Amino acid sequence: MLRVRIVGRPQKLVPSFCRLVHRASASTSDPWNSLISSRINTNKDTTSAEKNTVTGSSTSCNSSTASTDAASSPAGSLSGTTYIAKDNIVTTHEFSTGASRILSNYRSPFDATVVLLLDAAGSTLLGKSNLDEFGMGSSTTNSHYGTTLNPLYSVEVETGKAHISGGSSGGSAAAVAGKLANFALGTDTGGSVRQPASYCGTVGFKPTYGRISRWGVISYAQTLDTVGIISDDIHTVEKVYHVLDKYDDKDPTSLPDDIRNSLKSKCSEDVNSTSLTVGVPREFVVGDLSQEVKEVWFSVLSQLQDMGHTVKIVSVPSIKQSLSSYYTLATAEAASNLSRYDGVRYGQTTEDLQEKAHDLIVANRTNGFGPEVQRRILLGNYTLSSESGDHYIKATQVREKLVNEFNQVFNLRHVFSNDTNVDKETSGRCDILVAPTAINSAPTLEEYHQQNETNFLNDYVNDILTVPASLAGLPTISIPRGKHGIQIMGQFGADQTVLDVSKKLMEVK
């Protein structure tokens, strides 16, 4: 039986993964199929009462530019498909909460560009999925609405066998793994699409930074946030990507059309997907990597060799510094982005009367943000303070160095590279990189909490394998291998190469 989580009613644990568009009729034998049929076959809106408790789909278009971009999508290319959106992607007919108490009553006045594009392509939005509050976490346990459990395992917490779904897009990955929709949208800041996809046995794709519009995404760290796609079918991921791969003038980080055309031309000329050089960064061979993950990694590399590709060891030294750089930059951006939430103009506000405006804002933010979000705001504000010295500058320098090192490894030259000294001889370079997505399979909820009680930094360390691609803005996909995931990374803009290789690997699964 499907359990529906009602908006605004926090629960300790949430075996369900998303808030649904309609309540399924109690009299139907298969309420979920009934729900899908009603959404695809009718255009009836929810009643006012229903809108107060469950999410609704969004069909309005509030931007002429987004409408034009949507119209250029292949007509009906996603007709008949259903999807779920992570609850930090705004929609007009339902709450957009970011899984935070401070936004638990917030309704957006506009739809995200990605929602408009999918609507124009014929896909049906079924609901909004749970996440770590504002995308801050790797487990979907840091949500105002409770923990999302992994459907690949038992969801009976009392047995001790319940597993986490990963995060921060754990609700999206769990919904796809639970066969609730054809695909789901997530956001990937440091691995938040790829890691839960790995834990839940699904495909998770983070495109090149700037490929998909961020307009309508509740920001965590805007120089890293990337809308990603999760599905159990690689071909569905590819179709959705092509629908969303559009320039959006409302998003200042969206890649302009001339850059997109240049990338398409360069990739088609320089990349021969039938005979690739596959790089294996030695820095990803970390001590915490489980033996099972190593064996899966070796198996995939052997499959690539059998397909006629060349495998070689490469080095990207700055990967070792990427985690500290990432958390310095991400928390600083988070502190800035979340400063807008004061509970005065919109969002949740305290019912206790305060004599001063300052006291009201303090009370709203203290009660409105969860402990992990408060921790990262504090870390970010410290980084931006004079007391921290030049931590932010050093982190930016590490990021720049990492990008340059990736450029030296990849065969394809970075479209934004200004380095005229780059050696044009590329015969010893790579077309893609292959690495594990996570150091192990999904831990049990009990194991996860025990590890974090011992050291809360454990949650941060788990991002070591996914953060480098995020810092460099590289297209990266996690494909399932049993209960593990393997990442395929390409040069900036080489999204199609990453997808093509992934499709071939999924065929020989």
DSSP string, 107-149: B-SS--HHHHHHHHTT-EEEEEE--SGGG--SSS-S-TT-EEB
Distance (Å, whole) CA 357 – CA 78: 49
User: What pLDDT is attached to residue 156?
Assistant: 78
Q: What is the pLDDT of residues 300-333, one digit of tens each?
A: 999 999 999 999 999 999 999 999 999 999 999 9
Structure token digits, residue 261: 């055309």
Distance (Å, whole) CA 55 – CA 347: 17
Q: What is the pLDDT of residues 358-377, one digit of tens each?
A: 899 999 999 999 999 999 99
User: What pLDDT is attached to residue 372?
Assistant: 96
Distance (Å, whole) CA 87 – CA 35: 20
- Which H or E run includes 358? helix 357-368
Domains 13-261 and 271-320+396-507 share a fold: yes
Contact 363, 354 (CB under 8 A): yes
Closest to 93 measured CA to CA, from 1, 19, 40: 19
Exposure string over 45-71, b if 16+ CB within 10 A, otherwise e: ebeeeebeebbbbbbebebebbeebbe
Closest to 269 measured CA to CA, from 415, 406, 419, 469: 415
Q: Helix, strand, coil shares of the chain as percentages rounded to 5?
A: 40, 15, 45
Average pLDDT over residues 381-389: 90
Structure token digits, residue 396: 């930016």
User: What pLDDT is attached to residue 357?
Assistant: 87
Structure token digits, residue 278: 């596959």
Match domain 13-261 to its CATH number in 2.40.160.40, 2.120.10.30, 3.40.50.720, 3.90.1300.10. 3.90.1300.10
Please give the C-alpha separations between residue 46 and each of 30, 58, 184, 221, 381, in angstroms, as whole numbers.
20, 11, 22, 34, 42
Mean pLDDT of the chain: 85
Q: What is the pLDDT of residues 100-145, one digit of tens each?
A: 999 999 999 999 999 999 999 999 999 999 999 999 999 999 999 9
Q: Which residues are within 8 A (CB) of 238 and not within 5 positions of it... i.e. 6 or more apart? A: 499, 503
Average pLDDT over residues 191-214: 98
Q: What is the DSSP letter of 89?
A: B
Fold type of domain 271-320+396-507: Amidase signature (AS) enzymes (3.90.1300)
DSSP collapsed to 3 states, 419-443: CCCCCCCCCCCECEEEEECCCCCCC
Q: At residue 77, does pLDDT exceed 50?
A: yes
pLDDT above 90 coverage of the chain, percent: 70
What residue has token string 């899966």?
296
Closest to 83 measured CA to CA, from 226, 244, 219, 199: 244
Query: What burial class does residue 124 get, using C-beta atoms within 10 Å of its C-beta: 0-12 exposed, 13-18 middle, 19+ buried?
Result: buried
Q: At residue 7, does pLDDT exceed 50?
A: no
User: What pLDDT is attached to residue 455?
Assistant: 81
pTM, full prediction: 0.87
Q: Which residues are within 8 A (CB) of 502 and not within 5 positions of it... i.e. 6 or more apart? A: 203, 234, 477, 479, 488
Please provide the DSSP assignment of 158-179 as one string. GGT--BB--SSSHHHHHHHHTT
Q: At residue 426, does pLDDT exceed 60?
A: no
- Which H or E run includes 186? strand 183-188
pLDDT above 70 coverage of the chain, percent: 82
Which parts of 3-91 fold into alpha helices (H)?
Answer: 31-41, 48-51, 64-71
User: What pLDDT is attached to residue 417?
Assistant: 79
Q: Where are the domains positioned within the chain?
A: 13-261, 271-320+396-507, 326-388
Catalytic sites, residue numbers: 86, 168, 192
Contact 499, 211 (CB under 8 A): no
The pairing of beta strand 147-148 with beta strand 13-14: parallel
> How does residue 399 score in pLDDT terms, banded at 50, 70 and 90?
very high
> How does residue 33 score in pLDDT terms, banded at 50, 70 and 90?
very low
